[in-house]
Amino acid sequence: MIVKTRLFASFREAVGAAVVELELGPRPSVRDLLGLLRRDYPRLGRALDNAMVAVNLEYVGPEFELSEHDEVAIIPPVSGGARDL
Amino acid sequence: MTFNIVDGPIDVAALAAEVLTDYDGAVCTFQGVARRFSRGREVVHLEYEAYPAMAERKMAEIGDEVCAKFGVERIAIRHRTGVLSIGEASVAIAVASPHRQEAFAACQYAIDRLKKTVPIWKKEVWSDGEQWIGWEGVEPATAM
User: Is the pLDDT at B134 greater than 80, yes or no?
Assistant: no
Q: Which of A54, A57, A78 sits opposite B120 (nearest CB)?
A: A78
Ranges A24-38, B6-20, B95-109, B125-139: which has the least confidence: B125-139
Rounded to the nearest angstrom, the minimum Cα separation between A43 and chain B is 6
User: How do the domains of chain A map onto residue ranges?
Assistant: 2-75
- ipTM of the modeled complex: 0.88
Give the nearest chain B residue to A41 (CA atoms). B141
Is A79 an 8 Å CB contact of chain B?
yes
* Per-residue confidence (pLDDT) for residue A50, from 0 to 100: 85
**CA B57, CA B37: separation in Å to the nearest integer?**
31
Rounded to the nearest angstrom, the minimum Cα separation between B22 and chain A is 35
Give the nearest chain A residue to B124 (CA atoms). A79
Confidence of residue A79 (pLDDT cuts 50, 70, 90): low
* Per-residue confidence (pLDDT) for residue A64, from 0 to 100: 97
User: How do the domains of chain B map onto residue ranges?
Assistant: 3-132
Confidence of residue B11 (pLDDT cuts 50, 70, 90): very high
Percentage, residues of chain B above pLDDT 90: 85
User: Is the pLDDT at B105 greater than 70, yes or no?
Assistant: yes
Chain A residues 28-67 with a CB less than 8 Å from chain B: 43-47, 50, 54, 57
Contact by Cβ (8 Å): B47, B125: yes
Upper half-sphere CA count for residue B93 (Cβ side, 13 Å) = 23
Is A22 an 8 Å CB contact of chain B?
no
User: Is the pLDDT at B123 greater than 90, yes or no?
Assistant: yes
**CA A79, CA B124: separation in Å to the nearest integer?**
11
User: Is the pLDDT at A83 greater than 80, yes or no?
Assistant: no
Rounded to the nearest angstrom, the minimum Cα separation between A26 and chain B is 27
Q: What is the architecture, at CATH level 2, of domain B3-132?
A: Alpha-Beta Complex (3.90)
* Chain B hits for A75, Cβ within 8 Å: 51, 119
Q: What is the mean pLDDT of residues A5-9?
A: 96
Beta strands in chain A (DSSP E): 2-6, 19-23, 52-55, 58-60, 72-75
* Per-residue confidence (pLDDT) for residue A47, from 0 to 100: 82
**CA B141, CA B144: separation in Å to the nearest integer?**
8
pLDDT top residue among A48 and B137: A48
Q: Which CATH number fits domain A2-75: 3.10.20.30, 3.30.200.20, 3.50.50.60, 3.40.50.720?
A: 3.10.20.30
pTM of the prediction? 0.90
**CA A9, CA B132: separation in Å to the nearest integer?**
7
Average pLDDT of chain B is: 92
